[in-house]
Amino acid sequence: MPPLFLLPVVLVLFAAADASPAACRNATCGVHTVAYPFWLQNSSASALDCGYPGLGLLCLNNTTLILPIRTHQYKVLDIEYGTHTISLTDADVEYYSTNSSCPHLHANLTIDDNSWLQLAASDSNIAFLYNCKSNDSWTSAWKLTGCAAESENSSYVFLDDSITGEAYYYECETVVVAPVLDIHKKAMVGVYESLPPANRSFGEVLSAGFKLTYSAHSDKCGKCERTNGWCGYRHNETSTTMDFTCFCEEGPTKSHCGSTGKKKTIIGVVGGLSGVLVLGAIATVFFVRKRKHKKVTSSSKLLKYSGSGGTPRSMGGDMESGSVKDLQTHLFSYEELEEATDSFNDNRELGDGGFGTVYKGILRDGRVVAVKRLYNNSYRRVEQFVNEAAILSRLRHPNLVMFYGCTSSHSRELLLVYEFVANGTVADHLHGHRAQERALSWPLRLNIAVESAAALHYLHAIEPPIVHRDVKTTNILLDADFHVKVADFGLSRLFPLDVTHVSTAPQGTPGYVDPEYHQCYQLTDKSDVYSFGVVLVELISSKPAVDITRQRNEINLAGMAINRIQKSQLEELVDLELGYDSDPATKKMMTMVAELAFRCLQQNGEMRPPIKEVLEVLKGVQELCVVEKDGDKDKDPPLSPDTVHAQWDSRQTTPNTSQ
């Protein structure tokens, strides 16, 4: 009997089930995914108990997500379902950006004690006191300029909210306490504690927003979704609390679907028909697979030749490969990742990584992830994917992207699953589509350099060492707090302890490739150092590594940097808006980083410093302001451009043997 003959019977049985909870499925608004415990107010979900009260979001023009808190609105920057945090900024963020000389807040953030939302540990407060009687005793305050409606009065900013009680005595017109990310506040004043920061810094800190944490029954929700339910809540009439509820086709339950009598009845009826259906399905699958067998070569079949089985390979080749089946990591099913990425929808595409396209996905347990999918089934690319999985499964470092797992060798395709890093790449912020935000101040850039170097030092120091081989600003991701996550190990190579150089075909990205490696096919840890030198130049200049609109001999940023530094023309290379001309401390630090970059960009790999030394130098630059503040005269002062010029010229002929 054809299996399709029985399909109407099954459909009639399931038609009796309540399908209305389907309105609680995950929704989208622009780049954001709205999932439990959040819900869209302007959708059919608003009529159901899809999310928690107070967590209803507004989707404006299908692009902007708004969270109303009391009478004020906050723009959603990101929702991290895995860590139960939501990043917000005041809906007037554009006002702060365009009127940054005196950012005027209109409302305090007030959160009830019984709210599902609470301030995150990464937040701290700053207080704005507007139109107060002038008070010279507030030595810890910074005075704002350009505020309207002021004559003899003044407006102030305090880096905490402990001073707000005195506002009454000085007849301040308005007092507003605003939460901000602590890292941004520290970046703003940590390097310039003895100097008033620019007024625009406060507008930038407000624009960067803050984080709130929320409570959620994530374990119950994951179980509910795995049984094809939708997470929500129900009001408990007896205890006046909100109870977790799993909405199923057959009705709501308190845990997961498949436990009610109605469901059991349906399963019993369908079970009686399952034998015929299974037989028909098996026959169909058999003929389909037989017909496709000669046309399709899957990734899993190719994996047999990149692991321990299949075609014999030389020892040199084995060094560059791994086997997924040997990994101590979580294995995902292809169907789960297909569902998480909405069938690899183009709207979920994040970009192209090494040998694969990366998609944003939401797992059934609520975690937001990045899923890398193979471009095609070529043997070489599958080998690279297996290599990347083998390497990532071993690595644990706060500045390396977290590897969650992959599909098995029996999957339709080989997919890799990483943590989702929401704040884009360093390249995006330096000279990409987010450059206009000017979010990366000099202290943040310096911290990015330190954390990136720390990640590379970790890779070079483990046994056996690992050379990344594709260090670039598009492979340095930033989380919501602007901490570094180095990504994309598609070109990585295990580096055996008893081999100094590894010969392999040159790969990498133009503008970053070690010239010695490109010419001689010699791979060492100093190849990463050269690429990192280009990254350092990007951080101080905000220029891309390759720009064909520049003069021919300066198309590559590395060549341009060497030329400018040797001619003592650093001011023509650096981004002057970072404070190079206006702040002596910043000029010294940027000069020291330029010197370090010059050393990293030496043609001869032996003359480049090891990454450990690079990290130590960068940490020393970070401590420069502390040294100056304490008046430590025993420290050697930073080199002047002229002194640096002379020493850099000499270093080009003197190998660096320090390890």
> For the segment 411-454, what is each residue's pLDDT rounded down to a tens digit?
788 888 999 998 999 999 999 989 988 889 999 999 999 999 99
**pLDDT score for 199:** 44
Tell me how far apart the 2 most distant CA atoms of the chain are, in Å: 93
Unique residue bearing structure tokens 């202290």: 443
C-beta neighbour count of 41 within 10 angstroms: 14
Q: Quick one: CATH architecture of 299-419?
A: 2-Layer Sandwich (3.30)
Using alpha carbons only, give the angle 43, 46, 52 rounded to the nearest 5 degrees. 130
Instruction: Consult the annotation and say whether 372 binds a ligand.
Output: yes
CB neighbour list of residue 41: distance below 8 Å, 6 or more residues apart: 56, 57, 58
**pLDDT score for 620:** 94
CB neighbour list of residue 334: distance below 8 Å, 6 or more residues apart: 407, 411, 412, 413, 415
Does the structure show a pLDDT above 90 at 570? yes
Burial of 211 by CB count in 10 Å (0-12 exposed, 13-18 middle, 19+ buried)? buried
Domain locations in the chain as residue ranges = 70-214, 299-419, 426-651
Lowest mean pLDDT among 362-366, 497-501, 509-513, 643-647: 643-647
470 assigned to active site: yes
pLDDT in tens, 587-642: 999 999 999 999 999 999 999 999 999 999 999 998 885 555 455 444 444 443 34
Does the structure show a pLDDT above 80 at 657? no
pLDDT in tens, 284-329: 555 545 444 433 333 433 333 333 333 223 333 333 333 444 445 6
- CA-CA distance, 109 to 93, in Å (whole number)? 14
Is there a contact between 401 and 411 (Cβ–Cβ < 8 Å)?
A: no
User: Is the whole-model pTM more than 0.75?
Assistant: no
- Is the link from the previous residue into 464 a cis peptide, with omega within 30 of 0? yes
Give the active site residue among 470, 514, 525, 575. Answer: 470
**pLDDT score for 400:** 93
- Is the link from the previous residue into 609 a cis peptide, with omega within 30 of 0? no
Paired with 369 in beta bridges are 361, 419
pLDDT in tens, 52-66: 777 889 888 888 899
pLDDT in tens, 318-337: 333 334 444 456 889 999 99
Backbone angles phi, psi at 453, to 5 degrees: -65, -35
Q: Quick one: CATH architecture of 426-651?
A: Orthogonal Bundle (1.10)
Task: State how far the alpha carbon of 283 is from the alpha carbons of 4, 288, 290, 311, in Å.
Answer: 13, 9, 11, 33
